[in-house]
Amino acid sequence: MKSTVINRPGGDTAGGIARPNSLAGDVYDAIFAQLMSLQIPPGARITVDNLVRELNVSHTPIREALGRLEGEGLVLRAHLVGYRAAPQVSRDRFDELYELRMLLEPEAAAKAAARIDEAGLATLQQLAGVMAADHGQDEQLRYSDFARQDAEFHDKILEIAGNGLIRDVLRMQHTHFHIFRLMFHRRVTVEALDEHEALLEAFRRRNPQMAREAMVVHIQNSRTRLLPAFV
């Protein structure tokens, strides 16, 4: 695995991760980025001692980060064996995830459009703006950030829709992190931005049908973009 250095204001990045107040968060960001960009391949063993040396931190933030990633479905832990990156989703699982999304998310978007208030709209616009911004990051970090923000964007829509069960079902499947890990490619992010803007326009107009249709297009296009991962 390549060494990952996160440059933060006021920190010394020589030899590993800078040590700001949010060390545990930086360690999580570093490992998350490696998983999303496939520097840690699906199914690969993740050795805590190797990460300690690579990132120049103690065992505690490494284990905290791996525990968080385990909760997000990107890391698996087996008793007396240790940690591994989650295996890549199969084609059948991929199809099931998109079928689930198509059943649940368009109607949730329509419901959100009918219920959305100014605060919710502002949050979605902020998330979309952060996804579109380029803060000088390398492609790996920008991609992993986009994946996380995309998950937050879709989760916020589900929150606004007000159906906690649907929100929990999709969150438990870790759909966005698994889907983005299929293909580390700029096209996945660039094309999604236009689709997010179409969703935002529907929410601005408080138009449920427009939101439903925009979500259907977004999910269909997302599936099409990622299908080559199985070729």
Per-residue model confidence as pLDDT tens digits over 168-227: 999 888 877 777 777 656 666 788 899 999 999 999 999 999 999 999 999 999 999 888
**Homologous superfamily, domain 91-230:** GntR ligand-binding domain-like (1.20.120.530)
Residues in the chain: 231
- For the stretch 10-22, pLDDT in tens is 344 444 444 444 7
Is 18 in contact with 26 (CB distance < 8 Å)? yes
Is domain 23-85 classified as CATH 1.10.10.10?
yes
Domain ranges of the chain: 23-85, 91-230
Is 121 in contact with 226 (CB distance < 8 Å)? no
Q: Where are the alpha helices (DSSP H) in 4-56?
A: 23-36, 48-55
